[in-house]
Amino acid sequence: MEFRGHGKRSRFRLVPVSIDLVSPADYRIFASHLASLRTMKDQKKSKLTQYTAMAGAVLGTSAVQAQINYVNINDTTVDTNGGYYDIDLDSDSSPDFRITQYLDTGATGMLDGILITPFDSLYSRVAGELENGFNYPFKLLPGDSIQLDTKWSGNTQTSPGYLVFQFDGTPYPNSYWKGPVSNGYLGLRIMKDDGFHFGWARIDVAADNRSFTVKDFAYEETLEGSILAGAPHLSVIERMLEQLVIGQGEGVLYLTKPSEYKVVDVRVYNVSGTEITRMAWEGEQAQIDLSNAPSGVYLVEFTYNGVRNTRKVVHAQ
């Protein structure tokens, strides 16, 4: 059954989801697209027009006008078997994605999972990759770009996306969303007005992978316009930069960052603005040797997804 509504195509398949098998290697499941619609509760909807000078800096392009539809909801936790949350990304009263929690199911009663399925199985997709026959949605970081050339293999027309899948409490290793996850972002794509639109949803996953919480979501109204995960609230990147740690000892700066962070650009300069060193920081830890630099005050500048954070350190010979 296919219909058009609010400029969006939707195809529903009334196939019940079940988890019947024991092993992740044998586990196969087809998408469930239920016709029942659930009204979003306690939503505070705010349509925001943002002139994205920051987005231009992040993407390396000139600033463009972005039309971002942002929906802030009361944090909603799902922790029951078969419980779900429907995301109406474009606020047209027709859900676009369903996230479902499965608990103690399968033939052994030892399978848990968090799955995402689109209501429009033909066009809606989740950013992710195909691995060993399963579709795994990416866990994006604030500021990651969501756009046309994003890898859209987090689900297919017939297969859901596996945020988490675990047997007897042990998560399948390819799952990007193994708990605990705080403020992870799903990249989402929908068909609307005969073209693709991109958005995100912010989600937490409990440490035991037996519940998830949906916090908010947004989409870019411009046809095929890119959106940054977390936009328009990119100040979250600033909070991420605050988690970078600088230690000092014997003329060396010791840098530490969370393992999931991508490359951070680092620049060290003195108070006169003279650059001492610059590096691309990839791993969890890095070192900067200042043993040959004169004693004094130095500034350490971190840049991540176009957002800068500067720290002051005092170096003594």
Q: What does the pLDDT look like over 263-315, one tens digit per residue?
A: 999 999 988 888 999 999 999 999 999 988 999 999 999 988 767 788 889 99
Segment 172-187 mean pLDDT: 92
| Residue 161 and residue 114 share a domain | yes
Contacts (Cβ under 8 Å, ≥6 apart) of 3 = 9, 10
Cis peptide leading into residue 137 (ω within 30°): no
| Residue 151 sits in the same domain as residue 126 | yes
Q: Do 264 and 182 sit in the same domain of this protein?
A: no
Arithmetic mean of pLDDT, 229-252:
81
Domain match, 176 and 76 both: yes
Whether 74 shows a pLDDT value over 60: the answer reads yes
| Same domain (yes/no): 139, 265 | no
Same domain, 83 and 137: yes
Angstrom CA distances, 170 to 24, 52, 59, 100, 109, stand at 11, 42, 38, 19, 14
pLDDT band, very low/low/confident/very high, at 55 (cuts 50, 70, 90): very low
Residue 32, in any domain of the structure: no
- Whichever domain contains 273, its CATH number is 2.60.40.3080
Per-residue pLDDT tens digits for 124-177: 999 999 998 899 999 998 888 899 999 999 999 899 999 999 999 999 988 999
Number of structural domains found in the chain: 2
The pLDDT value recorded for residue 105 is 94
Query: Average pLDDT in the 174-197 region?
Result: 93
pLDDT of residue 48: 37
For 219, what's the count of Cα atoms within 13 Å in the CB-facing half-sphere?
20
Q: Do residues 135 and 101 share a domain?
A: yes
Least confident among 15-19, 124-128, 182-186, 285-289: 15-19
pLDDT above 50: residue 183: yes
User: Is-contact 85 214, C-beta < 8 A?
Assistant: yes
Picking from 173, 204, 233, the residue at the C-terminal end of a domain is: 233
Q: pLDDT tens for residues 190-235?
A: 999 889 999 999 999 999 999 999 999 999 999 999 998 988 876 6
pLDDT of residue 234: 63
First to last CA, the chain: 75
What span, in angstroms and rounded, lies between the C-alpha atoms of 239 and 258?
A: 13
Domain identity same for 173 and 293: no
> Average pLDDT for residues 53-79, to the nearest whole number?
64
Mean pLDDT of the chain: 80
Say yes or no to pLDDT of 27 above 50.
no
Range of the structural domain that residue 135 is part of: 61-233
Whether 205 is covered by a domain: the verdict is yes
pLDDT at 121 over 70: yes
Sign of CA dihedral 21, 25, 30, 31: positive
| Domain identity same for 148 and 209 | yes
pLDDT attached to residue 236: 65
Shared domain for 83 and 165, answered yes or no, is yes
90 and 202 within one domain:
yes
